[in-house]
Amino acid sequence: MFAAAAVLLLATLALLLVRAVKGPTVFDRLLAGNTIGTVSVLLLATVGFLTGRPEFLDLALVYGLLNIVGTIAVLKFFRHGSLGE
């Protein structure tokens, strides 16, 4: 059953990837990228339970932290044209 949830999350990732490639504006791509980050955190947690290795949860935490930092950094770049001095 963990496998079923993992398959559902992989299908979600595939749909989001289509939007990230297709997205007309840069903000569509960023939205898809941010959501891909969230879903990959969930996928990592699920796979950790699927393989019986809860160490994957630490990876999921790091992915979540990196996701927010990356999104805000790219957003700041597109809003101000630079990352600030």
Window 64 to 83, contacts with another protein (CB under 8 A):
64-65, 67-68, 71-72, 75, 78-79
Window 7 to 26, contacts with another protein (CB under 8 A):
8-9, 11-13, 15-16, 18-19, 25
Report the 3 state secondary structure along the chain. CHHHHHHHHHHHHHHHHHHHHHCCCHHHHHHHHHHHHHHHHHHHHHHHHHCCCCCHHHHHHHHHHHHHHHHHHHHHHHHHCCCCC
Residue 1 or 83 with smaller CB distance to another protein: 1
Residue 25 or 82 with smaller CB distance to another protein: 25
Least Å from the CB of residue 85 to another protein: 19
Terminal CA-CA length for the chain: 50
Q: Does 58 bind another protein (CB under 8 A)?
A: yes
